[in-house]
Amino acid sequence: MNEQQKVNIGIEDTVAVECNECSSMYFEQALHIRKASGLLTGQPKPSYMPIPVFRCVDCGHINDEFLPKEIRQ
């Protein structure tokens, strides 16, 4: 069997995601940046980790479902 299985899902099988603040259905990708101390990474300078998230194009809100559970508020 193939490592990646094809899933046959049509758009009619999905539901729209809305902004929890303004109910807009349009989002854009943004980056949440995390910084790790050089002491933790063994590097002379801090390291940065970009985490892609989606924010509402109308109000800028980021739904909790778009954030890793470790940084949800």
Q: How many residues does the chain have?
A: 73
- The pTM is what? 0.74
Residue with the two structure tokens 């970009």: 50
In the prediction, which pLDDT does 2 show? 57
Residue 10 placed within a domain: no
CA distances from 58 to 21, 24, 27, 61, 64 (A): 10, 7, 8, 8, 17
**Can you give the residue range of the structural domain that contains 22?**
16-59
Give me the half-sphere count of Cα atoms (radius 13 Å) on the Cβ side of residue 51.
Answer: 14
Residue 68 placed within a domain: no
Residue 41 placed within a domain: yes
| Each residue's pLDDT tens digit, 26-56 | 999 999 999 999 888 888 999 999 999 999 9
